[in-house]
Amino acid sequence: MSCLTPTRLISKPSKASLEKRFGFPIPVVARAQTELQRLVDCDPFDGALEDEDTKLYVTFLGDPVAKTLPMPCEVAGDFSVVHLSDAEIFMTAHRLPSGRFGAGMDQVHQFFGKQHLWTSRNWNTVLKALK
């Protein structure tokens, strides 16, 4: 899906402004509403919808390193990475017997660890941010 690239990451001056305002560095992973709309319009989940046993997640990275994640990346019956852009990872997660969704997604987050700034959100949160 070429419409998912490139992602415009928050500028260094914006980060510097936050640090100046608050007096300490503040790690930020942010996307403009236009970027979020572009992601939604590209339908990275290929029409998949959430239900009581399946959730959709996106991990936003602070650097364009998503494609360094070894693929395929999934645990059957747990989670699956369904698409990568430069700085986003789109995953489906399934309800486990414990009731938790996609516990294996932790391996994606561990791959990027503390070397890269990241945050994950439920896809519904992205959709609500556009309203």
Which residue would you say has higher pLDDT here, 30 or 56?
Answer: 56
At residue 8, the pLDDT reads: 56
Phi/psi-derived region of residue 130, left when phi > 0, alpha when psi is between -120 and 50, beta in every other case: alpha
- Please say whether the beta carbons of 3 and 42 come within 8 A: yes
Listed in sequence order, the residues at least 6 apart from 82 whose beta carbon sits closer than 8 Å to its beta carbon are: 44, 45, 46, 48, 90, 91, 92
At residue 1, the pLDDT reads: 44
Which residue would you say has higher pLDDT here, 27 or 82?
Answer: 82
The neighbour count for residue 57, using CB atoms within 10 Å, is 24
State the residue for tokens 């986003």: 88
At residue 128, the pLDDT reads: 93
Where exactly are the structural domains of the chain? 2-129
Distance between CA atoms of residues 111 and 131, nearest Å: 32
> Which residue, among 90, 126, 116, has the nearest Cα to 105 in the 3D structure?
90
The tens digit of pLDDT for each residue in 37-94 reads 999 999 999 999 999 999 999 999 988 899 999 999 999 999 999 999 999 999 999 9
**What is the model's pTM?**
0.85
